[in-house]
Copies of this chain bind each other. A is one copy, B any other.
Amino acid sequence: MAQTLDDLAALSGVSRATVSRVINGGPVAEGTRRRVLDILHRTGYRPNAAARTLASGRSGVVGVVMHIDPHLLFQDPYFSQLLQGMSDALSERATAMMLWLGNRSKEETLDHILWMSLLDGVIVTAYRLEDPLVDGLLTSSLPTVLVGHRRADRSASYVDVDNVDAADAITSHLVAIGRRRIGHITGLRGTVAAEDRLAGYLRAMKRAALPVDELVVDGDFNQPSGAAGALSLLDQGADAVFAGNDATAQGALEAIRGRGLRVPDDVALAGFDDLEFAARLDPPLTTVRQGVRQQGMEAARTLFQLLEEPGEGPRRVILPTELVIRQSTAGGVVGG
């Protein structure tokens, strides 16, 4: 049962090289090809991946690194969807996925990944402004694609959305429906998404000449921080809340309700991500749709391009976002 190319060659009455060509699509006479293929199927032959990798230099395996705080990884479907998207695109090309999560330190994880020298390339989430793991991968010779990016990653390949623009758009929407005391519950400070969304919010507020003092409170992308943040903002007389993501918005919604206030009549509410539950909230949540799954797919495809055309320089993909306006910001127009 321990089949090798030599065994099959003997059975087929051809050389090992010919069997190899049949498998890998080299030039083979139609007759022999069929004969060999028949034997291949009959014996259920499976090539030895290690030998193949050793000889060819390609493994058909890419690494995916999601070194995330478990509290985020558990709670937020974001990561499941990202993973699913990558898995989709990888399986289209019969490429396997090796996964690292955040259960060791970044340094240990980096060592382990580089040690696993059979990877063709790696996709890594780059959410934090400082990240030795991302730095280490970019420095290594391993072809690398980031999901998200830091300002300093201009020379790297990445897939991202324009968080600044999207946050600006949703804030401007709140302005457009007449809100003036628009608060923002940030995401986890130190992450690119949180800082950029905050920047977009500030940009829109400044353009509208609206005050932001006391109207920014720190959250952490999780539901409880949304509740706490909302209470604080209500004390500041907020008539609208832009939460750092949908989970935060959900927490805010509960807190606002707990105060006996109505959404959107008393307080308009917006989130970010458009995860599935956003549309099912009561009222349905206005938010920014970023195709998370698509980001995952795009990251994988970008990596494929990198592998196929080396020396082409870095590839940067900014995926579009979409403002999804629902009840949580509708019907509450006060001003113009």
A98-106, A150-158, A182-190, A325-333: which lies at the interface: A98-106
Contact A81-B87, Cβ < 8 Å, known A48-B117, A54-B54, A117-B49: no
With A49-B117, A80-B80, A94-B112 given, can you name 13 additional A-B contacts, CB distance below 8 Å?
A1-B141, A47-B115, A47-B117, A48-B118, A51-B54, A54-B54, A73-B84, A74-B81, A74-B276, A75-B276, A91-B103, A91-B112, A223-B280
Neighbouring B residues of A276 by C-beta, 8 Å = 74-75
Contact status B87-A99, CB under 8 Å: yes
Provide the A71-90 mask, 1 if CB < 8 A to any CB of B, else 0: 00111010111011001100
Question: Which residues of A (263-284) have their CB < 8 Å from a CB of B?
Answer: 276, 280
Kindly state the separation between the CA atoms of A84 and B92 in the bound complex, as whole angstroms.
Answer: 25
Give Cα A224–Cα B50 distance, bound, in whole angstroms.
46
Given A54-B51, A96-B98, the answer on whether A46 and B114 have CB atoms closer than 8 Å is: yes
B96 and A70: CB pair below 8 A? no
Asked if residues A96 and B112 are in contact (CB atoms below 8 Å), the reply is: yes
Q: How far, in Å, is A29 (CB) from chain B's closest CB? A: 26
Query: What is the minimal beta-carbon distance from A102 to any residue of chain B, in angstroms?
Result: 9
A80 touches B73 (CB 8 A): yes
A236 contacts across to B, CB distance below 8 A: none
Whether, in the assembled complex, A334 has its beta carbon less than 8 Å from a beta carbon of chain B, the answer is: no
